[in-house]
Chains A and B, each alone.
Chain A
Amino acid sequence: MSGPGLPRRSATARRPGTRLRTLAARACSATTMERLVDPVVADLQVEYAQAVRDSRPWKGRWTLLVSYLAFANVMLLCGILGTRQAWRNWNQDDQRNLARVLWRSGLAALAITFLFEIPGLMRLPSRLGGSRDASLSLLIAYLVPAGLATSIPIGILIGTILGLAGRIRSRRLPAAVLLAALAISGASFVNVGWIVPAANQLYREELIGGIVPRAERELTLIEMRRAAEELRRWDAAHPDRERVKRLTFAYHQRYAIAGSSLTLTLLALRLAPRHRVGRMAAAVISCAAVACAVIVFRLGWFLSHVDIVSAPIGAWLLHIVAVSTTVLAAINGRWRNLPLIRTRA
């Protein structure tokens, strides 16, 4: 022991729950800390110290496990209660900014859906050929879910950058935008997993005018997973690596597309300029972001196709790049905001 202060400091550092408490203090209010977090941490420390004093290591470990679970539970409840409180204290500027983001995202998504549908619509007359029984409006409607699957994440990327560029943001606003993106991702998951395959199948049947066996694209998420597993099992006897790869990629891609609303929102929150910029500049930033996202998305497919990366990594490449860029931009922003660097600048 080197001095009177050291043992106390090292004992405090070793005390379980200290770090968790520090992390919780960043997110929770003083009242929440006092009423919810501190009692849990105090229980953990007392129980653990008791187990150590009694030389019962397994009891100590069990205490840690149970207490950490209780801590997680409390944090979850804190999150729910905090969200409710934030909603009550929601100010009008935040509401307006959130509405701007959602409105612009929706508009962008609709425009992109329409753009995606144009090639399909152009081909329709030639595809319809003699079968005039098929309803054109139904065919167009069946194309919408597939269009929305990709247009929604892109729309959110554009809408968030355009909606938040140059706007003053409270701490709640990004959280609310992310929450909305999470909800949209959930809806997108249902769309990509079940609605798009069903709509695709209906489209084909309407076009041909009879029952058509379902192809890979028309399989639901669960059916696609089963098909991929079965194919992998048979692969040893009947090697068709290309099909296995394609199916695995398509399966992971559906999850990736569903989750891309959330990831691209995270990126857009970082890319949206905080200082005042013109509409044109914001539009250029959003267009550049969309172009990069599309390139990375296609690159994932290409790299997986030529066996440079595995099919799951290829499908999730956009997420990997978007999250890495967000983290790097955040680190860069933090470096720039350091007082020393700011003074020099």
Chain B
Amino acid sequence: MARRLPHPPRLSAVESLILELLVANAEAMYGLQLVAASRRRLKRGTVYVTLGRMEEKGFITSRLEAAPAEAGGLPRRLYEPTALGRRVLAAWTAAAQHFSPRFAQ
């Protein structure tokens, strides 16, 4: 019997947008920054769920900011893309560019 190949990583539209924003930005970003940069395409109620899922998939990594912005307040979580995330985004973008003109025809 032929061995089943592992599933290639999948990227939803929202995940792709988040990766694009994170890759475009040189520094790590926190959730609200992503929401603001996405021009309302990301919602603050769902962005962290998507970020959590992406972290589980290994597309991004997160860390707590060094010093809390407000003394005594909770530290914010900063997100940045991993090497896998960058590769998946590159592959995804290439595939989209490859297929889009054909679909348009």
Instruction: Please report A residues at the B interface, Cβ cutoff 8 Å.
Output: 8, 11-12, 15, 21, 35-36, 38-43, 45-47, 49, 66-67, 69-70, 72-74, 77, 81
Centre residue among A21, A40, A72 by max chain B CB count within 10 A = A40
5 A-B interface contacts by CB (under 8 A): A11-B72, A39-B51, A43-B76, A46-B70, A49-B70
Whether the pair A74, B76 counts as a contact (CB closer than 8 A) is no
A12–B43 CA distance with the chains assembled, in angstroms: 27
Neighbouring A residues of B69 by C-beta, 8 Å: 46, 49
Contact with A along B47-71 (1 / 0, CB 8 A): 0110110010000001000000110
Chain A residues with CB under 8 Å of B31's CB are 39-40, 43
Q: In the complex, are the beta carbons of B48 and A39 less than 8 A apart?
A: yes
Residues of A contacting B51 in the complex (Cβ-Cβ under 8 angstroms): 35, 39
Q: Shortest distance in angstroms between A70's beta carbon and chain B's nearest beta carbon?
A: 4
Interface size for B (C-beta < 8 A) is 21
Contacts of B75 in A (CB 8 A): 42
Q: Judge if B44 is at the interface, Cβ distance under 8 Å.
A: yes
B32 at interface (Cβ–Cβ under 8 A)?
A: yes
Q: In the complex where A42-B75, A43-B32 touch, is A36 in contact with B52 (Cβ < 8 A)?
A: yes
Nearest 5 pairs of A and B residues by beta carbon: A73-B45, A42-B74, A35-B52, A70-B45, A45-B73
CB closest residue in chain B, given A11: B72
Nearest Cβ on chain A to B76's Cβ, whole angstroms: 5
In the assembled complex, B77 has its CB within 8 A of some CB on chain A? yes
